[in-house]
């Protein structure tokens, strides 16, 4: 059984959905990655929130942005899969859904991301190419990548 996908603007998220999304992001981006930087960056209200549910639990999430919010192009960010489900390769499903969501909702095929460096090959497998030198974001090595 796969994931049930939903995509909603911020104002349409239920309180429970918002709580679960933020809890998942905190588990990964703060606790797992030992990153003491603020995940809430003010952009959640501007994003479309793509999330995958499995047996009633949100286990995957990404934010989709139209051009001009995070980068000149449309973008995808805060890509996360619950650590307990990574063996199912749902990160690939999440990226396929995110790329399709950007195309469907924003009419864009050019996408820019700020990727954690260790995930370079993962994003390359989805058609992204590195377009910057490594930089630190919240003390974590990142690279800019684009999909044309």
Note the pLDDT tens digit of each residue in 102-138: 999 999 999 999 999 999 999 999 999 999 999 998 8
Structure token pair of residue 71: 């980068």
Q: What's the pLDDT band for 8 if we cut at 50, 70, 90?
A: very high
Q: What's the pLDDT band for 37 if we cut at 50, 70, 90?
A: confident
State the Cα–Cα distance between residues 136 and 20, nearest whole angstrom.
28
pTM above 0.85, yes or no: yes
- Cβ within 8 Å of residue 4, ≥6 positions away: 52, 53, 54
Give the side-chain half-sphere CA count within 13 A for 67. Answer: 10
Q: Lowest-pLDDT range, 9-23, 34-48, 82-96? A: 34-48
35 pLDDT more than 80: no
- Cβ within 8 Å of residue 89, ≥6 positions away: none
1 pLDDT more than 80: no
Contact (CB, 8 A) for 49 and 10: yes
Structure token pair of residue 125: 């497998």
Q: What is the pLDDT of residue 59?
A: 97
Note the pLDDT tens digit of each residue in 50-75: 999 999 999 999 999 999 999 999 99
Alpha helices in 1-148 (DSSP H): 15-25, 90-106, 120-124
Q: What is the pLDDT of residue 32?
A: 83
Q: What is the pLDDT of residue 147?
A: 97
Phi, psi (degrees; rounded to nearest 5) at 56 = 80, 0
Domains of the chain: 4-111 (3.40.630.30)
Summary mean pLDDT of the chain: 94
Minimal CA–CA distance to 28: which of 98, 80, 91, 93?
80
């Amino acid at each position: 059984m796969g994931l049930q996908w939903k995509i909603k603007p911020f104002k349409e998220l239920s309180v429970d959905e918002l709580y679960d999304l933020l809890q998942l992001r905190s588990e990964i981006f703060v606790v797992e990655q030992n990153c003491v930087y603020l995940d809430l960056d003010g952009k959640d209200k501007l994003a479309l929130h793509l999330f995958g549910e499995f047996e009633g639990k949100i286990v995957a999430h990404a934010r989709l942005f139209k051009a001009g919010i995070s980068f000149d192009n449309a973008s995808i960010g805060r890509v996360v899969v619950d650590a307990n489900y990574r063996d199912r390769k749902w990160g690939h499903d999440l990226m396929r859904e995110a790329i399709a969501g950007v195309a469907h909702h924003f009419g864009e095929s050019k996408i820019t991301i700020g990727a954690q460096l260790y995930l370079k090959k993962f994003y390359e497998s989805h058609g992204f190419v590195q377009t910057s030198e490594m930089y630190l974001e919240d003390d974590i090595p990142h690279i800019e990548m684009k999909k044309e």
